[in-house]
Amino acid sequence: MNLMRVFKILLYCALILLVATELILRFSFGFCDAVLYQSNDKYEYISQPNQNRHRFGVNIRTNSFCQRSDEPDTNKRIILGLGDSIIYGGNQIDNDSLATSIATDDATQYLNISAGSWSPDNCAGYLSVYGTFNAIGMILVCSSHDAYDSMSNAPVVGVFSNYPDKQYTFAIVELLERYVIPLYIDPLFKDNDLSHDPDQQVVMNNPIPEVAQKSDFFSPGFQQLFDISSTNNIPIVVYLHAERNEIEAGQYNWMGKKIEKLCEEKGIPLVKGLDNGENLSMYRDIIHFNESGQRFLATQLKKIEKEYFPLCPE
C-alpha cells in the first residue's frame, strides 16, 4: 500500500469522524441551539423572544415578550414572577420544571420575567417597557446580594459566552470556543479573569464562599418596583431566597438584613425562604435551585398567592 493511499484512507476516516462528531454534538447535546439574548437600554439584556431551544436535554422556551413562559393568557389571573437566575432557572432547568410553570394552573398564570444576574432595577426597567400585563400580584424573588446589585449597562450580549446573540455555524467550534479553551486551555497560560462577567460570582463550581456585593449603593430597583406596585394598585411580595452559606449559618447576611429592614420600613410583605424550609438538598451550587428547589419555590409562590392576593383563591 503506497503512502498516498494510506493518506487518503486516513483523510476519509478523519472526515467521517469530524462529521459524526458534529452531528452528535448538534442532535444529542444541542450545540448550535443556545439560548440567544438581546440588549435593551432600559433593562440591559434579556432572552430573545419566541425561542424553543433543546440543549443538554433541557427545553427552554420564551414567549413573544421574552418571558420564560407561555403567552400571557387573558382568561387567567396573572401574577408576575420577577427576579434573576433563581427564578429564571438557568439553562439546566427545563421550562416545565420552573417554579412559575409548576405554580401555573387553570385559574392563575405566573409570568416568568427574569434573566441571569438581573437585579430589581432590571425588573423595573422591563415593566416600564412592557407594562404589568393586567397582573393582580407581583412576587420579587431576590437574594441578599441583590441589595447591592444594580444595573451597570456594561456591554454583555455578544461579549460574554453566556450571553450569545447568534448561533455558532459549527458545533465543534462552539465546543472548543465556549468550553474547552476557556476551561482547560486558557488557565494554563493566563489568569482566567471573569471580573466583568455578570455571572462570574454564581457559576457552578466557583469556589467563593458566598455571592459578593456588586455595587457601592443600595439597588434603587426595590423602590422602583414598590412604586410600580403602588401606582398600578398591584400588591407586591418579596421572597428572600437564601444562599448556601446563609443556610449553614442559619441567618441572612448583612445585605439580606438590609432587605428585611427596607421591607419592614415600607410595609412590604417579606417571605423568608430560610424560615420556610429551604435546605441544602435543594441547591445545585452556592445559590441556584435544582429541580427539587424549583418545586419547593412553587409551593411558596402558591402560599403567597393564597395569603396576599385574595382574588386568587386556592
What is the residue-level pLDDT of the chain in tens, covering all 314 positions? 688 888 888 999 999 999 999 999 999 999 999 999 999 999 999 999 999 999 999 999 999 999 999 999 999 999 999 999 999 998 899 999 999 999 999 999 999 999 999 999 999 999 999 999 999 999 999 999 999 999 988 899 999 888 999 999 999 999 999 999 988 888 887 655 444 444 443 333 333 345 555 667 899 999 999 999 999 999 999 999 999 999 999 999 999 999 999 999 999 999 999 999 999 999 999 999 999 999 999 999 999 999 999 764 44
Find all residues with CB under 8 Å of 37, minimum gap 6, and list them.
45, 46, 47, 48, 115, 156, 157, 158, 163, 164, 165
- Asked whether the whole model's pTM tops 0.75, one would answer yes
**Helix/strand/coil (H/E/C) assignment for every residue in 81-115:** EEECHHHHCCCCCCHHHCHHHHHCCCCEEEEEEEC
- Dist CA 95 CA 63 (whole Å): 12
Q: Which three cell numbers stand for residue 287?
A: 445559590
Question: Measuring CA to CA, which residue among 281, 261, 293, 252 is closest to residue 145?
Answer: 252
